[in-house]
A and B are shown apart, each in its own frame.
Chain A
């Protein structure tokens, strides 16, 4: 059907030169169908069109009532008899119901009547019902010459706006009365038959998006992990075996010089295990660790509190991957000296209440460097290089405290976008 319409439009353009108003030219055809045909013809550059919108007003239900019976204020006026007696307001209300209230206000505003005690009394001798006149004009012509009248009638919800859309059509650059079927795509048949040589291709819309390939995807967090891993590999780090989420308090805390009364070991912050609840044994150097906590050693005066073997055996979900670093350093110490760099990126657990920025399990990135003659200065220099590889430069450092590092530093970098210094991590 639309093919027919398109041909009709072309023929009409050919014979008349232009179509002034499609609504008039194609009575009975809906505006959408016409638009469809025009768009199709336009894409082939056979026609050009301009949209014509006309507004017209129709009378609403309440408007119809006032059109036929006069405006509320006019009715009130008519009900008020001439003379100084006037009519009691409550009589008006009895007669007209709610119309009385609506009409009274306007009547008084127009100075057609005035209040005299409990009654309304005429001031004007006669009136012109402007509203009814306005409505009559709108009813007849669909509009009104005075914009203010339209505004007023609209405000009182007596009339409603409507639009008609129509089009003025003219010949396009490629105008012809022929409608050739356009090809949308190049096909194998066209190539085989040679039809592609004489085919007309539909104009392609390059301002569009292509078809989503819907392939497989890797998880964004894993992608970030991969980037970190690459930086570690580039700087000579060995990946630690972190495939053990369960750890004894000994390795997670005690061996790292975290005292047994430390707040981090509270039930509120750490996941303790119910089953299995305790480690079956502690490593052979556990008594050395106990001594350092209780009495000191290796130059330290220790924490000087009674250390409990049972507490150290309690199993936890590791709260940091530093527990694994402790294992690695212990193993490293068994052999002859060699410099070593270890890293890990894996899950850790904190017994937090979950909210928008906190999970009970998350990933930590950790690195350890064992070498001779290292100082805070060389650690800072290393961190400079490490973070620069990830696009973060201009690092600043602030003192902080960890039970297992001394000196300790918080690492900050300036974030251009947020305009402030952000904490990147902790070190020592």
Chain B
């Protein structure tokens, strides 16, 4: 490695000699090479390959020199790879060398090179070791689903360029250097299957019977979805990623930093965060369907994502149900009635109609998303009297409607349905 200023050469296909820094500048606009400049650009030293006469052969990972360019008269070629991962470097070298050697004067030969590290360690490359993998006909047949003798298997593997030696029960497979992808016995089984032909394998089912079961949360969601659809609402399926504003500013809500999962590398502002409410998605749906006759009734029963430091992955989903009513008049009582029906289907009655058992009620609250005096928390009241906030219901604040480019009043509710599990 040398300081960039101390490296001087004529890059491949160029005429001017440049130093390391100039090379970087020169290739800033090059379609292919500019993608790799960042790998060494800011390093105090750049890797460089010299020949015995101290002439630059290559400036990895960017470009070789004009001097060492291959021409029609070239008789001797040095294959050299510089990388940061020894395993990958060897794999690549093995494959390049083996594929290239076909064209040598004496085909399939290569002159080894000794690499000496500054600490004195010496290695001879290419390594080209032939690996051996032991397996059995029983195993291979079992994986593929055929019944071939060891000799037949050996013949099939030969078709895949895998030399196999049968020794009684065992099959010893010699793995060429060109097959670094073979990591264990199942890889050989795949090659056997390919040699045999996937579509020729006898199709015999031998699974034991098992009992089916739906996921309880999905079963619950389906009950709620059916109830809402039967009441005349249309189901929407909206995107779970949205912009920060959609979830907060546009709904007149504040972000306290503990609620929402933020993404690192979105390609657009529409993918900044994971939604914590279904409401913005449904409002966008109504906005996109303004040309249809009123009233518009849309709903969704789907997951939102909330931060949760208590779990390993730092976040968890929560299943919400949200329904919107958009019309010439807000008609709060309509979504209220729908909520009543949904609750009834979950065996929960309003406090208006019952005073014991599991009930729910609406508690008027000052919720910025809703019109003042027309917003409430939906509370679940357990048998023991304790209460749990399920969600909210109300007539949306005109500012919120404006933020979503809506011209008609909208009333809505959104609740967490997981407590009903």
Closest 7 CB pairs of A and B: A377-B145, A375-B145, A276-B314, A407-B190, A300-B184, A216-B229, A381-B203
CB contacts (< 8 Å) of B307 on chain A: these are 275-276
| A339 contacts the other chain (CB 8 A) | yes
The A-contacting residues of B in range 270-285, CB under 8 angstroms, are: 271, 274
Q: A271-B264, A272-B264, A315-B313 are in contact. Are A301 and B274 (CB under 8 A)?
A: no
Contact B187 A406 (CB under 8 A): yes
Contact A378 B185 (CB under 8 A): no
Contact B314 A315 (CB under 8 A): yes
Contact B317 A237 (CB under 8 A): no
Contact A369 B203 (CB under 8 A): no
| Chain B minimum-CB-distance residue to A410 | B198
The B-contacting residues of A in range 221-248, CB under 8 angstroms, are: 221-222, 229, 232-248
Once bound together, how far apart are the Cα atoms of A215 and B85, in whole Å?
A: 62
Once bound together, how far apart are the Cα atoms of A302 and B180, in whole Å?
A: 11
Q: In the complex, how many angstroms separate the beta carbon of B298 from the nearest chain A beta carbon?
A: 10
Once bound together, how far apart are the Cα atoms of A372 and B207, in whole Å?
A: 8
CB contacts (< 8 Å) of A372 on chain B: these are 208
Q: B residues bordering A, Cβ < 8 Å?
A: 85, 87-88, 131, 142-146, 183-187, 189-190, 193-194, 198-199, 201-215, 217-218, 225, 228-237, 239-241, 261-268, 271, 274, 297, 303, 305, 307, 309, 311-317, 319
Contact A239 B198 (CB under 8 A): no
Q: A233-B212, A275-B262 are in contact. Are A217 and B313 (CB under 8 A)?
A: no
Contact A245 B203 (CB under 8 A): no
Once bound together, how far apart are the Cα atoms of A361 and B230, in whole Å?
A: 28
Once bound together, how far apart are the Cα atoms of A229 and B221, in whole Å?
A: 14
Q: A residues bordering B, Cβ < 8 Å?
A: 214-219, 221-222, 229, 232-248, 261, 267, 271-283, 296, 298-305, 315, 317, 339-341, 347, 349, 351-354, 359-361, 369, 371-378, 380-382, 384-385, 396-399, 406-409
Q: A305-B85, A406-B190 are in contact. Are A273 and B263 (CB under 8 A)?
A: yes
| Chain B minimum-CB-distance residue to A359 | B239
CB contacts (< 8 Å) of A280 on chain B: these are 309, 311-312, 314
Once bound together, how far apart are the Cα atoms of A296 and B198, in whole Å?
A: 28
Give 18 CB contacts A-B under 8 Å. Answer: A219-B235, A234-B212, A236-B209, A248-B312, A276-B314, A279-B312, A280-B311, A281-B312, A305-B87, A340-B210, A341-B207, A351-B266, A352-B267, A360-B271, A376-B201, A377-B203, A407-B190, A407-B193
Once bound together, how far apart are the Cα atoms of A233 and B231, in whole Å?
A: 28
CB contacts (< 8 Å) of A241 on chain B: these are 215, 217
Once bound together, how far apart are the Cα atoms of A374 and B205, in whole Å?
A: 9
| Chain A minimum-CB-distance residue to B265 | A267
CB contacts (< 8 Å) of B297 on chain A: these are 216
Once bound together, how far apart are the Cα atoms of A280 and B309, in whole Å?
A: 8
Q: In the complex, how many angstroms separate the beta carbon of A157 from the nearest chain B beta carbon?
A: 41
Q: A267-B265, A373-B142 are in contact. Are A378 and B205 (CB under 8 A)?
A: yes
Contacts A275-B262, A378-B204 known; list 6 others, CB within 8 Å: A273-B315, A353-B268, A381-B204, A398-B198, A399-B190, A407-B194
Once bound together, how far apart are the Cα atoms of A276 and B264, in whole Å?
A: 10
Once bound together, how far apart are the Cα atoms of A402 and B241, in whole Å?
A: 28
CB contacts (< 8 Å) of A351 on chain B: these are 265-267
Which residue from A232, A271, A378, A408 sits with its C-beta under 8 Å from B206?
A: A378
| Chain A minimum-CB-distance residue to B88 | A305
Once bound together, how far apart are the Cα atoms of A276 and B208, in whole Å?
A: 42
Once bound together, how far apart are the Cα atoms of A280 and B236, in whole Å?
A: 35
Contact B235 A397 (CB under 8 A): no
Q: In the complex, how many angstroms separate the beta carbon of B45 from the nearest chain A beta carbon?
A: 22
CB contacts (< 8 Å) of B319 on chain A: these are 243
Contact A376 B198 (CB under 8 A): yes
Once bound together, how far apart are the Cα atoms of A305 and B83, in whole Å?
A: 13
Which residue from B239, B271, B309, B311 sits with its C-beta under 8 Å from A271?
A: B271
Once bound together, how far apart are the Cα atoms of A378 and B206, in whole Å?
A: 6
Once bound together, how far apart are the Cα atoms of A218 and B211, in whole Å?
A: 28
Q: A217-B234, A222-B235, A382-B207 are in contact. Are A243 and B274 (CB under 8 A)?
A: no
Q: In the complex, how many angstroms separate the beta carbon of B185 from the nearest chain A beta carbon?
A: 6
Once bound together, how far apart are the Cα atoms of A305 and B303, in whole Å?
A: 38
Q: In the complex, how many angstroms separate the beta carbon of A2 from the nearest chain B beta carbon?
A: 31
Contact B193 A399 (CB under 8 A): yes
Q: In the complex, how many angstroms separate the beta carbon of B84 from the nearest chain A beta carbon?
A: 10
Once bound together, how far apart are the Cα atoms of A353 and B303, in whole Å?
A: 23
Q: In the complex, how many angstroms separate the beta carbon of B160 from the nearest chain A beta carbon?
A: 11
| Chain A minimum-CB-distance residue to B225 | A218
Q: In the complex, how many angstroms separate the beta carbon of A174 from the nearest chain B beta carbon?
A: 39
Contact A378 B145 (CB under 8 A): yes
Contact A296 B305 (CB under 8 A): no
Most buried by A among B88, B131, B313, B315: B313
CB contacts (< 8 Å) of B185 on chain A: these are 299
CB contacts (< 8 Å) of B87 on chain A: these are 303-305
Which residue from B215, B234, B311 sits with its C-beta under 8 Å from A239?
A: B215
Once bound together, how far apart are the Cα atoms of A381 and B236, in whole Å?
A: 37
